[in-house]
Amino acid sequence: MSLRSGAHPSLPSTDNHPLSGRTILQIIPDLEAGGAERTTVDIAQGLTEAGARALVATEGGRLVAELQAKGGVWLPFPAASKNPVSMALNVRKLVLLCRRERVDLIHARSRAPAWVALAAARALKLPFVTTYHGSYASRSAVKTQYNSVMARGDVVIANSGYTAELILAKHGFARDRIRVVHRGTNFSAFAPSAVGPERVQALRRAWGVEPHQRIVLLPGRLTGWKGHRVLIEAARLLREGGDTDTAFIFAGDHQGRDGYVRELDQAIAKAGLEDQVKRVGHCADMPAALLAAAVVTVPSTEPEAFGRVAVEAQAMGIPVVVSDLGAVPETVLAPPQTAPAERTGWRVPPGDAPALAAGLKEALALRPSARDALARRARLHVEQHFSLENMVSETLDVYCALLGR
C-alpha cells in the first residue's frame, strides 16, 4: 500500500506521453456537482492534454458542458441505476460500448456503476481502477459487501489518508492496491487575483447581504451531516454576544431534501435569525463566493472523506473553521498539532456549537496584518500539498502503470 502523495513533474508533451492514443473511460452516476464529479472533469482534461481520449459514461448533469469544452467525451449511460436487473443489463451495454470505443482502461467513481464496470472490465480483461470518494456507511453485512466494490480495483485510489485507513479497516484485502491521491485544486481559478470585485458584488447582491455585513459561508449541499443546525446555534450564540453584523450563508443544493429544508427554516425562525441566516441555493461561482466571505466554515458532524472546501478557501486566503474529524484535519493546520503562529485555520469538536462560535469569533476578530499572514501561510500550505497538477499527474501515473504491465 502506498500512502504517499508527493509532487510530480509536469506532464510530458502530448507527442511522447505514454497515454497518447489510449482511450480511458470514467464512469459516474451523473455530473451535477460535488468532489467526485469535479475530479472526473479534471482528470478528463488531464487525459486530453496528454493526448488520450477521455470518455465519461454518465447520465448527464450541469458539468457536461465543461467536460466537453475541456476535450472530454460524454457517453450518455444509465450509470445511476441501482436496480439489480438494470445493472445486469448495463453490464452488456458497457461491454459493447467499450468494444465500440476501443477502451483501454475503466475507472469507476461510485458504487452502483462500479459493479457494472467491474463485470465489464473482467469480461474484456481490461485494467480496472476505483476511487474511494466517500466514507460509505455499512451498517450490515449486505451493505459492506455492496460497498466493497470500491476496494476491488486493480488500483484503489483513496482521496485522503483518512480514506485509506477506512478502506484498510473495512476491506483489508485491498491493502497492497491502495494509493493515496489527494483531491487537487485549480490554484489558477482559486486565487484572489483571479476574481474581480464585480463578481463578489454580484453575489452579495444576489444573496441579499447588506453592505455593512460580513459573511460566514457554509458551502455544501443541504444535508444533515454538513452541520447547518450547528452553525444556526453558533450564530444564535454570536448574536447573543452582540454580533448583529454577520450574515450566515448556506450555499448549496437541497437535492430534493424538502423536509430538511423545512427543518432548517424552522430552526432559523425559532432562533430569530431570519435577517442573518440565508439559504441561497447552488452557487456556480465558488471562487467569488469564497472571496466574498470573511470566514468559511465546514462544521460537519460526520467525517468528510477529503475536505475540498477547506482547501479552496485557504487558496483564496480566507480563514477557515472546520470540524476536527475525518480528513479535514489533513488539510487545515491548527493547534495542538502545530504552533499557533503556524496555523492556517481553526479546528473545533464536531457538533459543538459553543466551540464553533468561539472559533468563528476569533477568526472574525483577526486584525488585517494577522489575517494577511494567515492567508499567506494557508495558500502556501495548500499549494504544496493539494494542487490539481499533482492529482492529475499521480492519477495518470496509475493508468500508465496498469497499461504498462
Domain range enclosing 292 = 192-385
Domain harbouring 256, CATH code: 3.40.50.2000
Question: In this predicted structure, what is the pLDDT of residue 15?
Answer: 61
Question: In this predicted structure, what is the pLDDT of residue 8?
Answer: 42
**Whose CA is closest to 179, among 380, 382, 378, 8?**
8
Let me know whether 277 and 179 are in one domain: no
Any idea of the CA torsion for 328, 330, 335, 337, to the nearest 10 degrees? 150
7 within domain boundaries:
no
1 within domain boundaries:
no
Question: In this predicted structure, what is the pLDDT of residue 14?
Answer: 56
Spatial distance between the Cα atoms of 98 and 32, rounded to a whole number of angstroms: 24
The count of other CB atoms within 10 Å of the CB of residue 179 is 22
Answer positive or negative: Cα dihedral of 343, 344, 349, 353: positive
Strands (E), 42-165: 53-58, 73-76, 105-108, 128-132, 155-158
* Side chain identity, residue 137: A
254 within domain boundaries:
yes
For 105-133, the pLDDT digits (tens) are: 999 999 999 999 999 999 999 999 999 88
Spatial distance between the Cα atoms of 377 and 265, rounded to a whole number of angstroms: 37
Collect the ranges in the chain with pLDDT lower than 50: 1-12
Number of folded domains that form the chain = 2
Let me know whether 217 and 106 are in one domain: no
Question: In this predicted structure, what is the pLDDT of residue 3?
Answer: 42
Let me know whether 224 and 299 are in one domain: yes
Let me know whether 230 and 152 are in one domain: no
